[in-house]
Amino acid sequence: MPDDTPIEPGIPVPDAGEPVPVSPGRRERLRSSQRAGRRFWLALAAVVALLVAGAYWAGTHATSPAAIQKRYKPAPRTVLTATVVLRRLSQTLTVRGVIAAASVRQVGFGSVNVPGAQPIVTARPPRVGSAVADGSVLAQVAGRPVFAMAGVTPMYRDLTTGDRGPDVAQLQDGLAALGFPTGDSFGVFGRSTNAAVRAFYRNSGYAPPASTSGKGGALVVPQAEIVFIPRLPAVLQSSSLVLGQPVGDPALTLASGQLRAVVPLTAAQIGLVRPGHPAVLYITGHGGAVRRVAAKVTAIRRVGRAAGKAARSGPKAVLAPRRPLRWSLMGHRVTVRIVIAATRGAVLAVPVSALFTTADGQTMVTTIIHGKRVSVQVRAGAETGGYVPVQPLRGQLAAGDRVVVGE
């Protein structure tokens, strides 16, 4: 049956089977809207994922108040203890000085007068450190020797036949000690002394001194050819002699006597050191090796005059080694450890930090016995090397016990 419904003119009615036509602009807007929707959901998913991850991290890394309290809980108190010892206590003083000889003497050759010659050193002089014995040649000047002889009276004049005096007697003693005795009266330069001098010179490899009146006359021993030295043998400590150069003054410095350590002391130290105090010398050699030598204090020099200077030097302690030192050590630096106080024997001792004083003035130490603290009253002596000798007055204290020194 035909549809009789009236249709208004001007309003198109599309066919139900055909799609509604869409313009190109509208189509592009639809696509943009779809893309924006997808971006929104993706961003929302990312935010949710971050929130979930943050919640998981917070759950695994969060610290509870109980854990915090446990972590920052104070450590248990640690008790520091030391052992009570039974030993000899000593207090030492460490000072530094030098190894020196007991006696140092400067030697001059006097008026060297060789007719027709200058006082020039004409042979290689002895080396520093070499030994100087009785009868040694100290130098050769203008071809003539300068001999060392033991004696205390200086050679102050030329000696010849007929001279008398203590210097002649000293020369006769020196010749006899070297194996050339004289038959003249003691202190008289006679024919026998003349012959002994000639024999001594020839034995040393030198011509005898010139005679006063030519061949066969009485010889004259020049004042400059013999030097009397109080202590021989000695060691040549320094020399101003140079081959081909004039003789200086002083010509030589000789060291004699046993080597010892000489150390300066301060005003505070000099009151602590006494002669007889034992000591140990630590001598550093050329290769760096340290030699340990037992010694003792032999003298205290309060004030001395420095060599070659007007100023006075300060106090010094002189220490003698218990066995002789090699002369090669002279002038070496030395560290000296002097025992200035010591107990007579082994005593009960604790570290000084173990002592404490109570309110009523009692000196105490605290021992640990079976894990418990026990206070022991003691009488304490003078501190020596970080330890204090103690005597228990109330309570028990023995070597090997543990005492509290800190916590």
Beta bridge partners of 137: 147
- Residue partners of 395: CB distance under 8 A and separation at least 6: 367, 374, 375, 376, 377
What is the C-alpha end-to-end distance of the chain, expressed in Å? Answer: 118
Can you list the alpha helix ranges (DSSP code H) found in 84-183? 166-177
φ and ψ at residue 178, rounded to 5 degrees: -90, 5
φ and ψ at residue 396, rounded to 5 degrees: -115, 140
What pLDDT is stored for residue 363 in this prediction? 94
- Residue partners of 36: CB distance under 8 A and separation at least 6: none
What pLDDT is stored for residue 384 in this prediction? 78
Q: Could you write out the DSSP letters of every residue in 243-259?
A: TTSB--SS-EEEEES--
On the 0-12 / 13-18 / 19+ scale of CB atoms within 10 A, 302 is: exposed
Q: What is the SS3 assignment for 174?
A: helix
Q: Where are the beta strands (DSSP E) in 258-382?
A: 260-264, 278-284, 290-301, 304-305, 312-313, 316-321, 333-342, 347-351, 356-357, 363-369, 372-380
CA Rg, the chain, in Å? Answer: 52
Q: Which amino acid type is present at position 163?
A: D
What pLDDT is stored for residue 60 in this prediction? 67
What pLDDT is stored for residue 46 in this prediction? 81
- Report strand pairing: 144-150 vs 226-229: parallel
pLDDT of the chain, 407 residues: tens digit per residue: 444 545 445 445 445 455 555 555 566 666 666 777 777 778 788 877 887 777 776 666 666 677 666 666 666 668 889 999 998 888 889 999 999 998 888 998 877 667 777 889 999 999 988 989 999 999 999 999 999 999 999 999 999 999 999 999 999 999 999 999 998 999 999 999 999 999 999 999 999 988 765 555 678 999 889 999 998 889 998 999 999 999 888 899 999 888 999 999 998 888 889 999 999 999 987 777 888 999 999 999 886 554 444 445 689 999 999 999 988 888 889 999 999 888 888 899 999 999 999 999 899 999 998 888 999 999 998 887 788 899 999 888 999 999 999 87
Q: What is the Cα–Cα distance from 280 to 283, expressed in whole angstroms? A: 10
Closest by Cα among 144, 142, 104 to 250: 104
Q: What is the SS3 assignment for 190?
A: coil
Do residues 240 and 250 make contact, with C-beta atoms less than 8 angstroms apart?
yes
